[in-house]
C-alpha cells in the first residue's frame, strides 16, 4: 500500500523531514466515517490510487 523512495546512503544525513500522505480521511472524510474499510477501499479503487504518496524534504 505504500510507494518507495530510493536514495544513496550519503543523502540520509540530509533528510530534514519525511512522511506519507494518508488521504483516506482527508479527501473523503464522510465516506471514511460511514463505510466499512472493505467497502471504502472497493469504492476508491476506481477513483484514486491505492498507493499512499511518500515525501521527503532534503537540506542541501
For the chain, what are the domain ranges? 9-58
**What is the reported pTM?**
0.56
**Rounded to an integer, what distance in angstroms lies between the CA atom of residue 48 and that of residue 31?**
14
Predicted local confidence at residue 29, as pLDDT: 86
Predicted local confidence at residue 27, as pLDDT: 78
- Asked if residue 1 has pLDDT above 70, the reply is no
- Read off the C-alpha cell for 41: 477501499
Going by C-alpha positions, the residue among 44, 15, 9 that lies closest to residue 29 is 44
pLDDT in tens, 12-50: 899 999 998 877 777 788 888 898 888 888 888 777 776
Amino acid at each position: 500500500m505504500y510507494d518507495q523512495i530510493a536514495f544513496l546512503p550519503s543523502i540520509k544525513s540530509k533528510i530534514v523531514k519525511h512522511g506519507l500522505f494518508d488521504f483516506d480521511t482527508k479527501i473523503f472524510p464522510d465516506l471514511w466515517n460511514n463505510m466499512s474499510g472493505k467497502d471504502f477501499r472497493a469504492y476508491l479503487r476506481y477513483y484514486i490510487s491505492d498507493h499512499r504518496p511518500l515525501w521527503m524534504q532534503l537540506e542541501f
